[in-house]
A and B are shown apart, each in its own frame.
Chain A
Amino acid sequence: MTVKIQIPTPLRPHAGNLASVEVRANTVGEALGELCKLHPAMDQRLFENGQLRRFVNIFINDEDMRYLENLATPVKDGDEVAIIPAVAGG
């Protein structure tokens, strides 16, 4: 499946200053893995000890992946995966 990963402004310097990257993958986890292969600097920003960092949220077509199947959430052609730093509070 071909999906588009949206890169938030603070992470663009680590992804060649791109606002989005297209990858081929079957799950969200795979898509992020592909992103990190293309842009290795992203790996340390997103993951720590193999886990997604606490303050990084991932959305698939505007749905928080924690309400789906987390990194195992399947993706289909044309899906948009957005990386959103959890920097806003209440």
Chain B
Amino acid sequence: MSSSFVKGMKCRLCGKLYPVSPVNFCQDDFGPLEIDYDYEGLKGVLTKEKLEARTFNMWRYQELLPLEGEPTVGLHVGGTPLIRADRLAKEIGVKTLWIKNDAVNSPTLSFKDRVVAVALSKAREFGLQTVGCASTGNLANSVAANAAAAGMQCYIFIPSDLEKAKVMGTTVYGAHVIKVRGTYDEVNRLCTQVAFKFGWGFVNINLRPFYAEGSKSMGFEIAEQLGWRTPQHVVSPMAGGALVGKISKAFQEFYKIGLLKQEPTTKFYGAQATGCNPISGAVKNGWESHRPIRKPNTICKSLAIGDPADGYFAAKLIRESGGWAEDVTDDEIREGMLLLAKTEGVFAETAGGVTVATARKLVEQGRIPKNEEVVLLITGNGLKTQDSLTTQLGEPVTIGTSLSEFEATMENTREPVLA
């Protein structure tokens, strides 16, 4: 099946149209470019029956992803579980709670595999041999792994203080990794200059309009997994701020092409760390433009983007949907990670802790009603940010090999004994 439903590219600020090319900004106002599709043409062509017959991964929705032909990178990405989380729902105080679990996404255990699969497949279509990115961790892992599998060269730029597991989870694939002594925003600025000079396919810079579309697959899957409908509330972590908008776009696109009975009225909630909260700050204060954070300070390094590229659009979407945003402290983040693990058996990275803790806060504040249905986006795996929990988890008890020593440890419990 070929995908020729891409009409072109469009400026998100002024609407100016552009042909498909590895450029991500408008010549007139530097506004970001977005992919435009032939929705009319897709009506009746992409049906539920047709979709349900395909393998369950992100490429099930290929016609709504921006490639000309078949994907060549990341063929097994997506199709992650949507877990009904009754135990966590009870703790947080809502009627129905779902976890979209991209912590087990393939190949690199974060939702970034979705955006990278699209970006690298598109880079191939453009004939680019070398790709790159600036990253707070998950993107680095994903670009390195997928580029290796695709036989592409890649250059990964990261802040020099990233968690060890995330650095190793990048270098292991043979990528060229450059640690930069600066914040993520400073790394990004450097990469913009490198992209302009070297002409590589930077997934989050010149390939950004294509890259960003990959996140929609998370939204498509959620709608299908819920039985071809959209949830009342979605809580999303925010780093660059693009994810929440792409989930909304996914729901809207399904409706546009006739796959949903009702128009989506989902309310979107953004979750950030208090130590780096430009977007939640904008929402809570009613600012149109976010105020950038010069030196983010939080254990949640994956969301530590002080000047989010999609900050303006995320705040706007959240407001217009009738949602809200909040941010949580480092202690609350750790509590959120542990709560998710202990109630639902899902070990999420710090961003997952941010999302759970924020959802809890929003329910306590009455922003999210208690008797409705909420979906939490869990975007990355806890094994990647182990450093954040070292002081929370106690050491297990250590005993010798005798039964009596074990029994001694059970002395104060009421576990039944058989013999």
Q: Bound state CA distance, A54 and B307, in angstroms? A: 12
Q: Bound state CA distance, A63 and B352, in angstroms? A: 32
Is B134 a contact partner of A64 (Cβ separation < 8 A)?
A: no
Identify the stretch in A31-39, A71-79, A81-89 within 8 Å (CB) of chain B at 4 or more residues: A81-89
Is B30 a contact partner of A88 (Cβ separation < 8 A)?
A: no
Is A89 a contact partner of B205 (Cβ separation < 8 A)?
A: yes
Write out, one digit per residue, whether chain B residues 280-321 have a CB within 8 A of any chain A CB (1) or not (0): 000000000101101000000000010111101000000000
| Residue B52 is within 8 A (CB to CB) of chain A in the complex | no
Is B292 a contact partner of A89 (Cβ separation < 8 A)?
A: no
Contact pick for B25, options A48, A59, A87, CB 8 Å: A87
B residues engaging A (CB < 8 A)?
13, 24-25, 27-32, 134, 136, 184, 188-189, 191-193, 195-197, 202, 204-206, 208, 212, 239-242, 289, 291-292, 294, 305, 307-310, 312
Could you tell me how many residues of chain A have their Cβ less than 8 Å away from some Cβ of chain B? Answer: 22
A53: chain B residues within 8 A (beta carbon): 29-30
3 cross-chain pairs, A with B, having the tightest CB-CB distances, nearest first? A90-B240, A89-B309, A55-B30
Is A87 a contact partner of B32 (Cβ separation < 8 A)?
A: yes
Q: Bound state CA distance, A37 and B122, in angstroms? A: 41
Given known A-B contacts A55-B31, A67-B292, A90 and B25 have beta carbons under 8 A apart: no
DSSP class of A's interface residues: helix, strand, loop or mixed?
A: mixed
Most B CB atoms within 10 A — which of A54, A57, A87?
A: A87
Q: Bound state CA distance, A66 and B379, in angstroms? A: 31
Contact pick for A88, options B31, B191, B291, B292, CB 8 Å: B191
A44: chain B residues within 8 A (beta carbon): 28
Is B242 a contact partner of A86 (Cβ separation < 8 A)?
A: no
Q: Bound state CA distance, A57 and B306, in angstroms? A: 14
Given known A-B contacts A54-B312, A55-B25, A90-B305, A85 and B294 have beta carbons under 8 A apart: no
A residues engaging B (CB < 8 A)?
8-10, 44-45, 48, 53-57, 59, 64, 66-67, 84-90
Is A85 a contact partner of B25 (Cβ separation < 8 A)?
A: yes
A45: chain B residues within 8 A (beta carbon): 28, 30
A55: chain B residues within 8 A (beta carbon): 13, 25, 29-32
Is A85 a contact partner of B289 (Cβ separation < 8 A)?
A: no
A64: chain B residues within 8 A (beta carbon): 292, 294, 307
Is B305 a contact partner of A85 (Cβ separation < 8 A)?
A: no
Is B184 a contact partner of A88 (Cβ separation < 8 A)?
A: no
Instruction: Give min CB distance, A39 to chain B, whole Å.
Output: 16
Is A10 a contact partner of B289 (Cβ separation < 8 A)?
A: no
Most B CB atoms within 10 A — which of A44, A56, A85, A89?
A: A89
Is A89 a contact partner of B25 (Cβ separation < 8 A)?
A: no
Q: Bound state CA distance, A67 and B278, in angstroms? A: 13
Q: Bound state CA distance, A84 and B193, in angstroms? A: 9
A66: chain B residues within 8 A (beta carbon): 291-292
Is A88 a contact partner of B192 (Cβ separation < 8 A)?
A: yes
30 contacts between A and B (CB under 8 A): A8-B196, A9-B197, A10-B196, A44-B28, A54-B30, A54-B312, A55-B30, A55-B31, A55-B32, A56-B30, A59-B189, A64-B292, A67-B294, A86-B307, A87-B30, A87-B208, A88-B189, A88-B192, A88-B202, A88-B205, A88-B309, A89-B188, A89-B240, A89-B308, A89-B310, A90-B136, A90-B184, A90-B188, A90-B241, A90-B308
Q: Bound state CA distance, A90 and B212, in angstroms? A: 10
Question: Assuming A9-B196, A86-B309, A89-B204, what are 7 further A-B pairs, CB within 8 angstroms?
Answer: A48-B29, A64-B294, A88-B202, A88-B309, A89-B188, A89-B212, A90-B242
Q: Bound state CA distance, A85 and B25, in angstroms? A: 9
B208: chain A residues within 8 A (beta carbon): 87-89
B240: chain A residues within 8 A (beta carbon): 89-90
Given known A-B contacts A54-B13, A90-B136, A90-B309, A84 and B242 have beta carbons under 8 A apart: no
